[in-house]
Amino acid sequence: MGFGCNAVGVTGCRIIDSPRERLLAILTNAFVPCNGRFPAMIAVITMFFAFGMAGVPALILTLVLIFGVVMTFAVTRLLSKTLLRGKASSFILELPPYRTPQVGQVIVRSLLDRTLFVLGRAVSVAAPAGLVIWIMANVTIGNVSLLNICADFLNPFANLLGLDGIILMAFILGFPANEIVIPIIIMAYTASGTVTDVVSLGEIKEILVQNGWTWITAVNMVIFTLFHWPCSTTLITVKKETGSLKWTALAAALPTAAGVILCFLFTSVCRIFEV
């Protein structure tokens, strides 16, 4: 379910009877990309790794998704052997008596218990976050926007990951919704002051290349898009489901640590061999 929405995936973990295994599933849910992360990955892969063949981006994206699933199992096993040790429980599936579906009740419960519930959490963070993004893009100090000042501060660390400060700031400001990461990057590079749509992927690639993007930057962008902190709605849901700030912080730290380590290792290897 996390492939659609990590917040819904976390809620779906309620069906797991074992508290330990339910927690394992919650903590590793964000290792698979939600629907909000797909546009960025598809755009970057298509722009930099299509190689003139239509099926190549789809193949690369599939491999990326498989890698996310493999990491999910790997981190789950690591946690089950360390922080969340315990005996594995058996899984018993009991089929209930078949009853005729009540369409009205299903629609109402889905709308009230799931859709509006998740959207309410998203709006509670998205509204103030939008104001923050506008302020950072439009308030200047010495003709330099707050967004660029923060990006310059993050540049040394971001360069270790094969990224730049703008990209890292876009992920931070994209905390309410992963869909806005690429638009924020374009906004910062073009100094437009507003999040705007760029129709052509060719236009986007030209802007990115002009600002120092290479195939190494693109690979690290895909890695960090796949592995970084979950969105605000997901973390709020984790807090509600676990009732613990500790587990919520760990749910954010695990994929972020994986992304940082993988980007650093990939960039270091490329620089060692001067690729």
Domain ranges (residues) in the chain: 6-84+104-272
Tokens 């802007």, located at residue: 207
Share of the chain above pLDDT 70, in %: 89
State how far the alpha carbon of 193 is from the alpha carbons of 28, 153, 185, in Å.
Answer: 36, 19, 11
**pLDDT at position 28:** 95
Name which of 108, 127, 129 is nearest 117 in CA terms: 108
Helices (H) and strands (E) in the chain, counts: 13, 2
Name which of 149, 29, 144 is nearest 79 in CA terms: 29
List, for residues 14-46, the tens digit of each pLDDT value: 888 889 999 999 999 999 999 889 999 999 999
DSSP classification of residue 200: -
* This prediction's pTM: 0.86
Q: Could you give the 3-state DSSP secondary structure of residue 197? A: coil
Distance of alpha carbon 126 from alpha carbon 251, whole angstroms: 20
Please, are residues 231 and 172 in contact by the beta-carbon 8 Å criterion?
no
Instruction: Kindly report which listed range (2-16, 35-49, 51-65, 182-196) carries the lowest average pLDDT score.
Output: 182-196
**pLDDT at position 206:** 93
* pLDDT greater than 90 at residue 66: yes
Type of residue numbered 140: T
List, for residues 95-137, the tens digit of each pLDDT value: 778 878 777 777 776 666 666 666 665 666 666 777 788 888 8
Higher pLDDT, 115 or 144: 144
Largest interatomic CA distance in the chain: 70
For the beta carbon of residue 176, count every other beta carbon within 10 angstroms.
22
DSSP 63-128: HHHHHHHHHHHHHHHHHHHTTT--PPPP----PPPP----HHHHHHHIIIIIIHHHHHHHHHHHHH
Using only the alpha carbons of the chain, give its radius of gyration: 20
State how far the alpha carbon of 262 is from the alpha carbons of 1, 62, 135, 157, in Å.
Answer: 25, 18, 32, 14
Q: What's the half-sphere exposure (Cβ side, CA atoms, 13 Å) at 245?
A: 0
* pLDDT greater than 80 at residue 195: no
Residue 200 dihedral angles phi and psi, to the nearest 5°: -95, 135
